Amino acid sequence: MALLIDPKKAKVLRAAPRLMQILRVLARHKFLGALFGRNHWPSPKEVRETFEELGLVFLKLGQILALRRDLLPAAYIDELLLLHDQLPAMDINVVRATVERELGAPLTKLFSAFSETPLAAATIAQVHEATMQDGRHVAVKVQRPRLKAIISTDIAALNYLVGLGEGLFPSLRAVDLPIVVRELAKSLHRETDFGREARSIVLIRAALADVPDLWIPDVIAECSGDTVLTMEYSAGERADVYAKTHPEAMPRVVNTLVKLMLHSIFEEGLFHADPHPGNVFVLPDGRLSLLDFGNTGDLDEPMRESLTLLLEAVVKGDARAATEAYLEMAPASEKVNHVELLVDIKAVLYEIRRTNLADVSIGNAFESLLRAGSRNGVRNPGEFVLLTRAFVILESMIGQLAPGYNHMDSFREEIARLSAQHFSLARIKGTTTKLARELERLIVDAPGDTRRILRRFAEGNLGRLPGLEALGRKFSRNLERLTGAIAFAALVIGGAMLLMTPMGGWHDTFGEMMIFSGFAGTVIIYIRALRRDPDQR
């Protein structure tokens, strides 16, 4: 008889040697003393050195924790920000073997030239400059070997340690460590999935094609795979290096950065989550070049709508609206203390309103919301945490590139443009058409679906119930009236939104027509509802 082992326990068993190694390192750096309270925590420097010694997964964990000011004291955050992910370069023979195995051909047949010295060597991969056989200048990103096995083992060990810690010390549950580990695992999966990165590059290139002064290198699909990614070579200088010799160009650079970030978030829902100076280059002709799409965020439309409402509420100082928008983005939970959350968000917005507008930071504002949520039982959504991280990194880089420059003017200008586009006649027409089609489908399908369900119910073990089909017909008619009322109410709301937008002209005329049609339709439905149903005569 086969012995069945719980998959989770099997993962822990396989990770046991690594788990013992991790425990030895933690003990040597005095981590185990933290079990006796905050007064016994290791120093911030020891925490950083521990993560660096434990390698890839812990380096990434430290980088995630460095952005969670809602979880750790400021001294630890500041130290974790010093974590680096530069590693010794892989031997050229390992690089050659990886490329040839992935692409199925000798390196000399794939490339006419391939530099043995990497341009960069990080935890996930290293990048080599090369020339294709047809003369194209490219950059080849080669993944380090055995990464997936290393990550799987370390995540299993971390999950075990977190579960053990929460079992021994229930107070740790307030820190939401399982969510942090889950967020870490997702982040590492994104960064090691070169196929996903290639697709993200294609999508973001298309989404940002209209952003001026921006160039994103294309993927060379025939020389890319699961562990190798070949792209057009991006010449130029890192943005922070370029800023030292071309300070006069920085306002334009900042405007471009802001535009590409907001456009990709609100228009496409796909954004670069790691916009630090090493991933932003300035080309010889002055255009920006955005690199490394291993870590991108993906926001669905409901999340983007909630984010828009949140930003508007933050700007207006409306704590109640900000709280509602914030909770719409977070997973539902019965543990949320709504009263205290509202009080904390009021305090956050008060601090923002009393700050000089030029000094306001969107990233810091979102971090404050995350802290308020964590204190009051909110399970912060991973994508919002990632977005906050992106804003913090972006604003930090803007401060480096153009100290003293009021980048909030660029944010306001771009948000105003996106708002005008959001309420444009074409967009509202498209949204109304989509709503009308969905309602039409619901109205057409609902009566038949209802009758089929009722017929099956009536033919079941309970036997045929008298009057059941008549009840079904009545229910179907009421459903038709309800959906019609919803459609006409949507017309009224859409028209009111148009009239509230200060654009004038056709917008006002169209808005008035929508409101009139909506009210007229509602009145007709009301009059018909007053008439006696045939089944009741």
Task: Estimate the crossing angle of helix 177-192 against helix 56-65, to 10 degrees.
Answer: 120
pLDDT at residue 26, as a whole number:
83
Q: Specify whether 404 is located in the same domain as 446.
A: no
Q: pLDDT of 347-391, one tens digit each?
A: 888 887 777 666 677 888 888 888 888 888 888 887 888 888 888
How many structural domains is the chain composed of? Answer: 4
In a domain, 201, yes or no: yes
Rounded Cα–Cα distance for residues 30 and 40 (Å): 8
Q: Specify whether 62 is located in the same domain as 129.
A: no
β-pairing, 125-132 vs 120-121, is antiparallel
Q: What 8-state DSSP symbol labels residue 423?
A: T
Q: Per-residue confidence at 456, pLDDT binned at 50, 70, 90?
A: low
Q: Specify whether 47 is located in the same domain as 134.
A: no
In a domain, 516, yes or no: yes
Q: Specify whether 438 is located in the same domain as 482.
A: yes
Residue finishing a domain among 376, 391, 420: 420
- Return phi, psi of residue 272, to 5°: -75, 120
CB atoms within 10 A of CB 517: 14
Q: Specify whether 65 is located in the same domain as 106.
A: no
Q: Per-residue confidence at 118, pLDDT binned at 50, 70, 90?
A: very high
Is residue 114's pLDDT more than 90?
A: yes
pLDDT at residue 534, as a whole number:
47
Domain with 19 in it:
7-85+148-185
In a domain, 268, yes or no: no
Q: Ranked by mean pLDDT, which of 222-236, 378-392, 401-415, 458-472 comes out on top?
A: 222-236
**3-12, 70-79, 251-260, 290-299: the lowest-pLDDT one:** 3-12
Concatenating the DSSP letter of every residue in 34-45 gives GGG-GGGPPPHH
In a domain, 1, yes or no: no
Q: Specify whether 31 is located in the same domain as 42.
A: yes
Q: pLDDT of 291-326, one tens digit each?
A: 888 888 888 888 888 888 887 787 777 888 888 888
Residues 6+ apart with CB under 8 A from 473: 447, 451, 535
Is residue 463's pLDDT more than 50?
A: no
In a domain, 284, yes or no: no
Q: Which long-range contacts (CB under 8 A, 24 or more apart) does 240-249 make?
A: 240/277, 240/397, 240/400, 240/401, 242/281, 242/282, 243/400, 243/401, 243/402, 246/282, 247/402, 249/282, 249/286
pLDDT at residue 479, as a whole number:
56
Catalytic positions? 274
Predicted model pTM: 0.69
Q: What 8-state DSSP symbol labels residue 122?
A: B
The secondary structure element, H or E, covering residue 127 is strand 125-132
In a domain, 286, yes or no: no
pLDDT at residue 2, as a whole number:
45
Residue finishing a domain among 359, 385, 420: 420
Rounded to an integer, the average pLDDT of 37-64 is 83
pLDDT at residue 526, as a whole number:
59
Is residue 490's pLDDT more than 60?
A: yes
The token pair at 143 is 């993944």
Rounded Cα–Cα distance for residues 327 and 312 (Å): 15
In a domain, 283, yes or no: no
pLDDT at residue 366, as a whole number:
85
Rounded Cα–Cα distance for residues 351 and 348 (Å): 5
Q: pLDDT of 131-140, one tens digit each?
A: 999 999 999 9
Rounded Cα–Cα distance for residues 110 and 105 (Å): 7
In a domain, 63, yes or no: yes
**34-43, 164-173, 263-272, 441-450: the lowest-pLDDT one:** 441-450
Residue finishing a domain among 176, 209, 233: 233
β-pairing, 280-282 vs 288-290, is antiparallel
From the list 453, 450, 456, 457, the residue with the least C-alpha distance to 475 is 450
Q: Specify whether 105 is located in the same domain as 130.
A: yes
Give me the CATH number covering residue 203.
3.30.200.20
From the list 138, 129, 188, 137, the residue with the least C-alpha distance to 158 is 188
Q: Specify whether 460 is located in the same domain as 501.
A: yes
- Return phi, psi of residue 460, to 5°: -80, -165
Q: Per-residue confidence at 232, pLDDT binned at 50, 70, 90?
A: very high
Is residue 276's pLDDT more than 70?
A: yes
Is residue 224's pLDDT more than 90?
A: yes
pLDDT at residue 335, as a whole number:
80
CB 512 within 8 A of CB 486: no
Q: Ranked by mean pLDDT, which of 22-31, 231-240, 373-382 comes out on top?
A: 231-240
Q: Specify whether 92 is located in the same domain as 76.
A: no
CB atoms within 10 A of CB 356: 8
Q: Specify whether 355 is located in the same domain as 459.
A: no
Choice between 476 and 59, residue whose per-residue pLDDT is larger: 59
Q: What 8-state DSSP symbol labels residue 204?
A: H
**48-62, 193-207, 298-312, 493-507: the lowest-pLDDT one:** 493-507
The secondary structure element, H or E, covering residue 142 is strand 137-143
Rounded to an integer, the average pLDDT of 401-417 is 73
Q: Specify whether 302 is located in the same domain as 408.
A: yes
Q: Specify whether 67 is located in the same domain as 199.
A: no
